[in-house]
Chains A and B, each alone.
Chain A
């Protein structure tokens, strides 16, 4: 799953700090241009480090918070096979969180600190998870649309200039494509089902379509620091390019399912071969980002509660380890 954090409005990345010489920056850019992978111990501009740290930690947080809306249907999955598949998916997400936190830790911040930043509201996660999963079809829509959008964003990240992130993304992308297929498969089954199931599928598409398009971040004209991320080869394609690709791939899938994409302005442009679509309600996007989505509070409270409830367990593990390390040393 993805984070649009790079593109938050109103924050401009400083491309260099005062202590960094032009020669250092130039040499770094040359390495990036030569598609040389930057590794944890290599010199890097402070802003490059900050940008990556923000992006990778947000991506990790998104995986962890993303377990909640899907976990909401684990106990109620309609068959044992669906339950097992969804459980495997949620487990993958915990795994993605784990390697992304590890990748972020190579940039010098501990996982504990990142989690603290999430809980304090300093760090963000993908806004898409602030929407509720109201029916079983939402589990299908998340896999099909949300993971589908995530893959569009993430495939290029496998070639990201920062080695640890790029390598983590290779594995994550393989698993995400399974997730996307399981989501589509749920929608497919519902679209062939009874009237109530078809209505459930359409309702889920209605609610998840626009938030999924928002996952790619603001329009290029409003995305203030994409250029620097492109130059550093953290980003490879612009928000609008990726969004267009997603729409072009997904609309025919909706047609195949017999579902209507909730956009009156949607039409194919015969000259370009691309779909043209209506305006995104960016106010909604910024509202959710600011903490005012349907589930922002609920998600963070649940994550925070788990952290509080687990404190005595982590303390016990530390105390046990200390006791036995002392005993071993004596």
Chain B
């Protein structure tokens, strides 16, 4: 694996996570429980689309074949995407969206913080900018998780079920491969083992504050956890997300918009 290959794969994965969760958040527009949440959701989704654009542009430059942001977003088939299964899960209700956000962003923020100090200047710059955005998202989502967990009996029950639904997808965050190893070794990137521990500590502390039980499982047991996004083995839901997103580019090949 060359330097460019490994870095390009890594940057593309980050871009895929950002685009796919951004797309899911966009689906929520005009369906939020409060007007203030409409603003927050659209604003956060916009952050993610912005991150995806920066990451895809950089991935294109690393690849050196002339591909740009829209080529990666619109002209790859679903199995070429390398996002985590967590971020592609359907929206469900508000509590589901909050839990997905908290679990993913608790990881993503740690990852970005490490990348902001990595040896690749361009990636470090993108990460440093994203850290500011994601810290704010995570604070917002965490406050909601606490309110829902410690709100009414109904909200507690609902968000507890959301947590049980999504928890199994978190294992994939820490299931590194040779690209992750390379980034850690050659680029001073994140140590996924250390991140897993910090993630677990942070999430458990938050769940305690939200009066929510930690789901009864062991993330290390692969029989329980769900992974495959890194290999392009997605959920059934994902093909629809991609088909909808890519519709115009596929229907009118080569058109400018």
Chain A contacts to B: CB under 8 angstroms: 64, 67-68, 71, 74-84, 87-88, 90-91, 94-95, 97-98, 101, 111, 136, 186, 189-190, 192-194, 196-197, 302-303, 305-306, 309-317, 319-320, 323
Contacts and interface: CB of A to CB of B under 8 A. Distances in A.
Given A80-B73, A136-B248, A309 B152 contact: no
Contact of B252 (A74, A97, A197, A319): A197
B50 interface: yes
B155 interface: yes
Contact of A75 (B23, B42, B56): B23
Contact of A320 (B146, B154, B249): B146
B236 interface: no
Nearest to B29: A71
B255 interface: yes
Contact of A98 (B39, B49, B52): B39
A327 to B, nearest CB: 11
B23 A193 contact: no
B45 A87 contact: yes
A126 to B, nearest CB: 16
A310 B30 CA distance: 12
Q: Looking at chain B, what size class is its interface with the partner chain?
A: 35 or more
Contact of A313 (B45, B74, B94): B94
From B36, B158, B248, residue with most partner A Cβ within 10 Å: B248
B217 interface: no
Contact of B43 (A80, A91, A310): A91
A186 B256 CA distance: 10
A98 B36 contact: yes
Contacts of A91: 38-39, 42-43, 46
11 contacts: A79-B74, A87-B42, A87-B45, A88-B46, A91-B42, A197-B255, A309-B93, A313-B34, A316-B155, A319-B151, A323-B150
A74 B152 contact: no
A315 B151 contact: yes
Interface string B222-248: 000000000000000000000011011
Nearest to B50: A84
B95 interface: yes
Contact of A84 (B34, B53, B148): B53
A79 B257 contact: yes
Nearest to A322: B151
B70 A312 contact: no
Given A74-B29, A75-B244, A193 B94 contact: no
B147 A83 contact: no
B94 A310 contact: yes
Q: Closest 4 CB pairs between A and B?
A: A310-B33, A316-B151, A316-B155, A91-B42
Nearest to B156: A316
B5 interface: no
B69 interface: yes
A98 B37 CA distance: 11
Contacts of B53: 80-81, 84
B152 to A, nearest CB: 5
A186 B257 CA distance: 7
B26 interface: yes
A45 B94 CA distance: 43
Nearest to A306: B31
